[in-house]
Amino acid sequence: MKYLFCALAVCLASALPAPAAEIAFVNVNVVTMADDNVLREQTVVVREGRITAIGPVDDTALTEGTEAIDGTDRFLMPGLAEMHGHIPAAAAGDLQRVMTLFVANGVTSVRGMQGGVSHLAMRGRLERGELLGPRLVTAGPSINGGSVSNPAQAVAMVRRQAAAGYDFLKIHPGLTRAEFRATAATAAETGMRFAGHVPDAVGVPLALELGISSIDHLDGYMQQLIPADVDPTGGIGGFFGVSLARIAERGRIPAIVAQTLAAGTWNVPTESLFENMISDEPPASMRNWPEMQYMPAETVQRWAERKRELQSSADFDRAVADRAIELRRALIRELHRQGAGLLLGSDAPQVFNVPGFSLHRELHYLVVSGLTPYEALQTGTIAAARWFGVSGEAGTVAVGKRADLVLLDDNPLADIANSRRVHGVMLRGRWFDRRRLDELLSRYERSN
């Protein structure tokens, strides 16, 4: 196992380009993400992993030896954050694939939603630029109905993870109200944030009251849209409450969103995951999406079978599923309208969510739900930096910020689909041009 970890580390490190002393994006259009304006025909200078200068191309001189990158007619923006991702263990055979796919799509940070001991060392190596991959903020093993069976065990698990140095706690289903309360209280005591699912026994209102930092998948919200006295299911509605859409009331959305705003809780909708599973697009068609070529055939087959299994169940109804999609999009729109925090996340790699590629699909769903391209991009840049607590370091293109950047071939503020048109990626000041990205991706093309 140790040998395998070392071999993977060597592979990941060998994929890193040598850092240049100074790099400049010349004559580039800058999407700063500080607002929705574009700074035209700029030069952006990077040294030692930081942005050191931004100015009009005609007024910004370069020092001798600076590596110049032609930004003419291209758009430079901050790297994206995947706020609900899963990173394999350090010794896993799929680690290099996942890391490469993230980087090739301009994902420069990942919030790992279910980690382990190996992620603690990996986090440091990534931060130091010793491994290829996004910056990693990681939870430990999830706290759920299988990992704890009483409040005392929940307390002990939180304290162990805090002592180990994990960044936050991941909640999965199955906790009782007493176990959830114990988790929340001990998290506050140790200074740990907790995020993830809302257990059925807890419900969104109590989760908000007890300070959950982010609710992922909009978990538990569909249950809040149905009057308690008309729910024959007891609040259990299948895949993220899809079957509850039959009796859910759209008019109840503003009230639960107002509670969310008052609690200061963020939401990571992972709408791409939900719609991948619930949409009427046939699995056979989804298997032909371009990004599927980078995943093992058996993985894609398993994803297709999962969707077919869910939609062939006796309680699945096409009209109800379509209404569930409409309600979730309305919920996303209302969360944004009221100012409750939204974060960009897709739950990659999950059903038809190929790492990196799925985040661009998630951006599309946010725009379809009613956000502008700029507002959608905020969820994976400046908003993510706020959740991480690094607004002074990341989230915008500005002097002094980290050089985690994406160079695009067209303006993402004009059309969110342009976020996919990655010309190159800068990761901690190291530059990966399109040729280098294609070379990395080619290792995982199924034809190879």
Q: Tell me, what DSSP letter sits at residue 147?
A: T
Do 340 and 382 touch, CB atoms closer than 8 A?
no
Over residues 175-210, the pLDDT tens digits come to 999 999 999 999 999 999 999 999 999 999 999 999
Q: In what order do the strands lie in the sheet with 135-138?
A: 80-85, 107-112, 135-138
- Unique residue bearing structure tokens 């990158």: 69
Residues 236 and 361 both lie in one domain: yes
Interatomic CA distance for residues 215 and 195, integer angstroms: 6
Q: Tell me, what DSSP letter sits at residue 66?
A: P
Q: Report yes or no on 45 lying in a domain.
A: yes
Q: Within 10 A of 236 (CB to CB), how many other CB atoms are there?
A: 11
Residues 327 and 228 both lie in one domain: yes
Pairing assessment for the beta strands 214-216 and 266-268 based on DSSP bridges: parallel
Residues 280 and 374 both lie in one domain: yes
Residues 269 and 406 both lie in one domain: no
Q: Tell me, what DSSP letter sits at residue 64?
A: T
Give the CATH number of the domain where residue 411 resides.
2.30.40.10
Q: With the C-alpha atoms ordered 177, 179, 182, 184, is the resulting torsion angle positive or negative? A: negative
Q: Report yes or no on 176 lying in a domain.
A: no
And the tokens for 262? 């008052």
- Strand blocks (E) in 348-420: 405-408
Residue-range definition of the domain harbouring residue 226: 217-251+263-390
Structural domain count, the chain? 2
- Strand blocks (E) in 217-319: 266-268
Interatomic CA distance for residues 440 and 35, integer angstroms: 33
CA atoms within 13 A on the CB side of 429: 21
Per-residue pLDDT of the chain (448 residues; tens, 9 = 90+): 444 444 455 555 556 766 668 999 999 999 999 999 999 999 999 999 999 999 999 999 899 999 999 999 999 999 999 999 999 998 878 999 999 999 999 999 999 999 999 999 999 999 999 999 999 999 999 999 999 999 999 999 999 999 999 999 999 999 999 999 999 999 999 999 999 999 999 999 999 999 999 999 999 999 999 987 765 555 557 899 999 999 999 999 999 999 999 999 999 999 999 999 999 999 999 999 999 999 999 999 999 999 999 999 988 999 999 999 999 999 999 999 999 999 999 999 999 999 999 999 999 999 999 999 999 999 999 999 999 999 999 999 999 999 999 999 999 999 999 999 999 999 999 999 999 999 999 999 986 5
Q: Report yes or no on 211 lying in a domain.
A: no
Residues 410 and 371 both lie in one domain: no
Q: Report yes or no on 190 lying in a domain.
A: no
Is the backbone peptide bond immediately before 349 cis, with ω within 30 degrees of 0? yes
Residues 364 and 246 both lie in one domain: yes
From residue 223, give the alpha-carbon distance in Å to each of 165, 205, 227, 245, 246: 34, 11, 9, 9, 11
Q: Report yes or no on 410 lying in a domain.
A: yes
What pLDDT is recorded for position 302? 97
Q: Report yes or no on 304 lying in a domain.
A: yes
pTM for this structure? 0.94
Q: Report yes or no on 419 lying in a domain.
A: yes
Interatomic CA distance for residues 404 and 65, integer angstroms: 22
Residues 276 and 418 both lie in one domain: no
Do 170 and 191 touch, CB atoms closer than 8 A?
no
Residues 303 and 405 both lie in one domain: no
Interatomic CA distance for residues 384 and 376, integer angstroms: 12
Residues 376 and 405 both lie in one domain: no
What pLDDT is recorded for position 11? 54
Pairing assessment for the beta strands 67-70 and 50-56 based on DSSP bridges: unpaired
Q: Report yes or no on 69 lying in a domain.
A: yes
Q: Within 10 A of 434 (CB to CB), how many other CB atoms are there?
A: 14
Residues 336 and 238 both lie in one domain: yes
Interatomic CA distance for residues 99 and 338, integer angstroms: 35
Residues 285 and 424 both lie in one domain: no
Residues 272 and 301 both lie in one domain: yes
